[in-house]
Amino acid sequence: MRIGFNGWFLDQPYVGSGQYAHHLWRGLAAREDLTCLTFGPTHGDVVVRLRRWGPLAKVWYEQVDVPRAARGLVDLLHYPYFASPLVKTCPTIVTIHDLIPLLFPEYSASPAMKLYNALIALAARRADAIIAVSEQTRKDIIKHLRIPGERIYVTYEAVGEAFHPQDDIVVEVVKRKYGLGDYVFYIGGLNRHKNVQTLLAAFARLRRQLSRPYQLVIAGRAHSHNVRVFPDPRPMASSLGLTWAEGKDAQSVDVRFLGFVPEEDKPALYAGAAVFVYPSLYEGFGFCPLEAMATGVPVISSRAASLAEIVGDGGLLVEPTDAEAMATAMLMVLKDTDLARSLRESGLRQAARFSWARTVDQTIAVYRRVLTIIDKW
């Protein structure tokens, strides 16, 4: 079995599609029962050089160059993100991580983005099979793309090997690097649907009830170019009466905005927190709460979309728009050491249910099933 793999996201490990592509590709490449040919714009077994530049480069690559290069070389072509070709040259599978571009209109305000979303939605309907990364995403695909459920297979994602309980010395080194004391932690993007404003409102309530000072530490770079998609959380903090600062060594403020943090620091930043809070309004999977559970930090998560499915019994679940409930959950974890310990243990058990090895096995099973069905026609 010769599998073609669209490697567009292989050099973008900091985004969810890049994590998925990297870990799946690495697992497929290690298998002896198949051959995996990688089609990439800059590297891979088959280098598909970009013939267009500007806004159309990616579209042309996805819709024309990769299918053309794959013709006759592979038995099946896998697009590990939501952008399969409209005209196929071989059996094609597409992985859909979420439907955020379709469900949140502010992310697709321009005519070009609306046209692109319509194109990839139509192309997905023509794919031979869809891989969804959660049951929730599968339901969304059935509902919004009107693709029959029997063509959709669920294979869960996982987290990288670096996310595990951290050595105390490593945690202390990273905390000193950023000048951190006791803190509540959030990482996961500042996009509008991440709902950071509710977390800030909840922390403002929490602060009034704490006898011991905790900071809210928010990691992630603020964007100023599109406030509809990336609302600036700093004015929100000020409007709630929260003092804030950016960067390192500002222990006297209520909220710390760390900006971009390198991948190697993330496990220790999770592990050093008293609690990790994830208020998102929608996730197709939810890497960040799973990373937090895998490092052994207590997790409070929104129950929206797939998050209840992924977090399960491994954390406390709250309504994403209920700041009071979120504040109450944080207060419970910070004051009740037995609850915090229980959440650490249950989170580790829940995180252990997800592995990239299982993802690879299940994905190969989908490949084989699709080829078997096609051979019977």
For the segment 292-329, what is each residue's pLDDT rounded down to a tens digit? 999 999 999 999 999 999 999 999 999 999 999 999 99
Rounded CA separation 145/126 (Å): 11
Residue 23 in contact with residue 160, Cβ under 8 Å?
A: yes
The closest of 334, 309, 331, 308 to 319, measured between CA atoms, is: 308
Amino acid at position 131, single letter: I
Domains 2-158+355-376 and 168-351 share a fold: yes
> Can you tell me whether residue 5 is helix, strand or coil?
strand
Looking at the chain, the whole-number percentage of residues with pLDDT higher than 70 is 96
pLDDT at 12: 83
Dihedral class, residue 243 (left if φ above 0, else alpha if ψ from -120 to 50, else beta): beta
Least confident residue range of 19-28, 92-101, 184-193, 249-258: 249-258
pLDDT at 223 over 80: no
Concatenated DSSP letters of 230-290: S--HHHHHHHTT--EEESSS-TTSSEEEEE---GGGHHHHHHH-SEEEE--S--SS-HHHH
The closest of 194, 172, 169, 192 to 181, measured between CA atoms, is: 172
pLDDT at 115: 81
Q: How far is CA 209 from CA 108, 202, 214, 237, 327, in A?
A: 40, 11, 11, 17, 9
pLDDT band per the 50, 70, 90 thresholds, residue 357: very high
What phi, psi does 369 have (nearest 5°)? -65, -45
Q: What is the mean pLDDT of the chain?
A: 92
76 vs 44 pLDDT, higher one = 76
pLDDT at 369 over 60: yes
pLDDT at 225: 64
For the segment 241-300, what is each residue's pLDDT rounded down to a tens digit? 999 999 776 778 999 999 999 999 999 999 999 999 999 999 999 999 999 999 999 999
Identity of the highest mean pLDDT range in 55-64, 163-172, 227-236:
163-172
339 vs 62 pLDDT, higher one = 339
What is the model's pTM? 0.93
pLDDT at 377 over 70: no
pLDDT at 286: 94
pLDDT at 297: 99
Amino acid at position 224, single letter: S
Chain centre distance of CA 134 = 12
The closest of 181, 159, 148 to 289, measured between CA atoms, is: 159
pLDDT at 188 over 80: yes
Does domain 2-158+355-376 fall into CATH 3.40.50.10860? Answer: no
Sorted by where each begins, the domain ranges of the chain are 2-158+355-376, 168-351
Q: Domain 168-351 belongs to what topology? A: Rossmann fold (3.40.50)
Rounded CA separation 62/10 (Å): 14
Mean pLDDT of 89-98: 96
pLDDT at 52: 57
pLDDT band per the 50, 70, 90 thresholds, residue 332: very high
For the segment 43-71, what is each residue's pLDDT rounded down to a tens digit? 667 777 666 566 688 888 899 999 999 99
